[in-house]
Chains A and B, each alone.
Chain A
Amino acid sequence: MSKPKLMLGNEAIAQGLMESGCVMATSYPGTPASEILATFAAFEKKGPEKRHIQWAVNEKIAFEIAYSGSITGLRTAVSMKQVGLNVASDPLMSAAYLGVKGGFVVISADDPGPHSSQTEQDSRLMAMMAKIPVLDPDSPQQAKEMIAMAFELSEAFEIPVMLRPTTRVCHARQDVQPGEILPLKREVDFQKDPARWAATPKFRLHLHQELEKKLNAISRYKKTAPIKLNAEATASRALIVSGVAAAHAKEILKDLNLWNVIPMYQVLQPFPLHQDFVSHIFKTYSEILVIEETTGVIEMQLADRHCIKGKLTGSVPSVGELLPETIEQIIGEFAGIGIEPIDLPSEPGIRPTLCAGCPHRAAFFAVKKAAPKGIYPSDIGCYTLGLNLGAVDTVLCMGAAVSQAAGFYHAYKHEEKQPDIVATIGDSTFFHAGVPALIDAVVQDVRFVLLILDNRTTAMTGNQPTPAVGMGACGESLNSVNIEGVVEGCGVKFCRVGDPYQLKEFTALLKEAVKYSRVNGPAVVISRHPCLIDRFRKEKPGWQPLKVEVSDACDGCAFCIDHFECPALILDKTEKRVSIDPILCNGCGVCISVCPKKSIKEVKNAG
């Protein structure tokens, strides 16, 4: 047996995919799920089989590709974050009816907190809505084991199976025991069956009936049944836990010396909840506390409410991450032990900011110059941090910058005065969901500027390639799609490219675009400068870092701090002077053009 290895939860999931003979994996990056596909791609050369691994343009496309692989008999998986599952929900609902051939696992990573997401939504509810089973791991090790369990379950009932890890599983590291990677001999064999794979509404009714039968059988399937963790405990009140809440509760129960007292059941498959388990707990216990994240999915399947405590009774918070200290309080109260609450300091952390030298910062500065009283819809990515510069007014979901700009335009168009609208969207987000919205804006003659922040990568999630890069998940060369071509193909007549590091020229270009858009409809400006922290970039940077200093002309007016907000600019309030942190500064030199007093200058090398 090989030695245990330190694995991130997402790496353990990828390891599980390898061990289970998954040969097709697709994804669109999103925190906390991104490392699953990246790790699986890094295995590419190790496994015995030929595989297909790809970043797709969005989650819907990723889902449909992997799903179709499974109906040829292969084992396949798609991974995404919870809001990505919203994008893929259309194929998810339908795939549940049609079912699968080879095992198909949908990995949807939730983010209670939320730490890095727009919502705290519970993917298990999506599984419930789609009527597919969902497994809820408590740790990296269990996530790996559940991948094997999910493939087996998926093939046993010809149904997609969801794995729902949360941030604390995805981004925990643990010593995980790797298993053997065995070749799984599978023939690719798509059996035509139009009555199933292209079912008409009449047959869909039949498939729905079949789906209900499958769910009924899955709620009796032994291998995913809840487990009683502490055989010794025999009290008349019991705990039901699942996911990371189970990991916390196990430790807390031991620390409170209640391990041998309060019976604790871990639910591995929150939906469909096992019927025998439900009868057993109602027969055995007088009071039951359910602790799960984020919605009461297990709780709502316990229809007899008289002895159930949980989110619906207010015993467990319905909002936010269930931190172990919260769970300790809840268990203490349930067990009748008073636990003194700890007074936590309310001191806020340091807010995130765009990197020093980030090209987005320069682009946002130019937006405020070009349309000072404008409305600024924006989107999902690093550039959401344009908030700090006052250049982001709205963030809804992937691609919404374009359609929200349209919404604002249509709302104001009958007014006497119309505000300028400058929407910002990242390159990857533009491909993901911005393109259909741009077509709509062209058709509807929406008068706005779309600024595409093209840093040649998906930066926020760890620099995955975009369709414009021409590189695959395993580093292989692929075709690339040019953003200008897409924009022009959508019917936009004004499409120009600029480098935001050339701040004056870039601001002038944006002003021209704003002016054009007021009369002529959509104008697109592509702000092109590569991300400074992209480890995978092969192109040469194309610019030389400058050494800059602040001269004595600085009077500490703090204009650069307030309006440019670069972390390398440090204001000394007592000395009334700004200085440049040499460790943080990346030498973009944009601040030279930002300072209204012209006190930031390039240091020319002597001689």
Chain B
Amino acid sequence: MPDEGSMRQQIVISGVGGQGVLFVTRLLAEAAITKGLPVFTSETHGMAQRGGTVLSHLKVGNFSSPLIRPGNANGLLALKADSLARHGYFLKPGAWAAINSREGMVVEPEFSAYTINGDLLAQHIHNPKSVNLILLGFALAAISEATENSLFCNLEDIKTVLQQRLAKKKQMLDDALKAVEAGFNTFSTP
């Protein structure tokens, strides 16, 4: 893990409206602030949220622009399997991609791609709308190896943010923590 003074990470999060792309983006951004890191996100609002493609940019560290340029992202969180084809151009060589996919997928060799059947797992834990958190938990486990692209935060950081955000909503908090952990454990115990 690089030291926090020089920490610069750019992550693309994609899916379709209603999947909770904005929520995951926000959790990661809050985690950055908790760690004292500057952060920028850019979000899709308005009509595109009605089931259309939704794309968030997250930049942690010293940046002035809210958008990621193609070929510059360290990682991609994809809530839809076809997102790598659609948004892979944001990634730089050696970047990671954590992908929610019902089937295993053919992946381009220049990226480290990890896939999880988040839809199925979400139904197993009786929380069909938690695919976003499952994928986040999965990515936190998968991208933990110390590389220059490793994530700026870990499972505990995300749990802390969830506890702050959902402090007054006990049931939602329990469900959210369960989903993040379910995703995380899928990678740890394949």
Contacts and interface: CB of A to CB of B under 8 A. Distances in A.
Interface residues of B, number: 41
A78 B29 CA distance: 29
Contacts of A351: 52
Q: For A32, A347, A461, which residue has the most chain B Cβ atoms within 10 angstroms? A: A347
Given A31-B47, A328-B69, A349 B86 contact: yes
B93 interface: no
Contact of A350 (B53, B65, B68, B128): B53
Contacts of A6: 26, 29-30, 33, 39
B71 interface: yes
Contacts of B88: 345
B46 interface: yes
B40 A32 contact: no
B66 A247 contact: yes
Given A6-B26, A6-B29, A173-B39, A325 B47 contact: no
Given A251-B64, A251-B65, A115 B51 contact: no
B166 interface: no
Nearest to A384: B47
Interface string A251-276: 11000000000000000000000000
Contact of B67 (A32, A248, A347): A248
Contact of B69 (A172, A325, A354): A325
A250 B47 contact: no
A385 B67 contact: no
Contact of A352 (B41, B48, B65, B69): B48
A172 B29 contact: no
A344 B45 contact: no
B63 A251 contact: yes
Contact of B51 (A32, A171, A353, A460): A353
A342 B64 contact: no
A247 B39 contact: no
Interface residues of A, number: 46
A583 B42 contact: no
A324 interface: yes
Contact of A250 (B53, B64, B128): B64
Contacts of A4: 33
B38 interface: yes
B158 to A, nearest CB: 14
B46 A583 contact: no
A20 interface: no
Given A139-B64, A345-B86, A353 B45 contact: no
A352 B42 contact: no
A171 B51 CA distance: 18
Interface of A: 4-6, 8, 31-32, 115-116, 138-139, 168, 171-175, 244, 247-248, 250-252, 323-325, 328, 342-345, 347, 349-355, 382, 384-385, 460-461, 567, 582-583
* A-B complex: 10 closest residue pairs judged by Cβ atoms: A349-B53, A116-B46, A352-B52, A31-B46, A172-B66, A352-B50, A173-B41, A250-B64, A248-B65, A342-B70
Given A174-B39, A344-B89, A349-B53, 10 more contacts: A115-B44, A138-B64, A139-B64, A168-B67, A342-B89, A350-B16, A355-B50, A382-B47, A583-B119, A583-B128
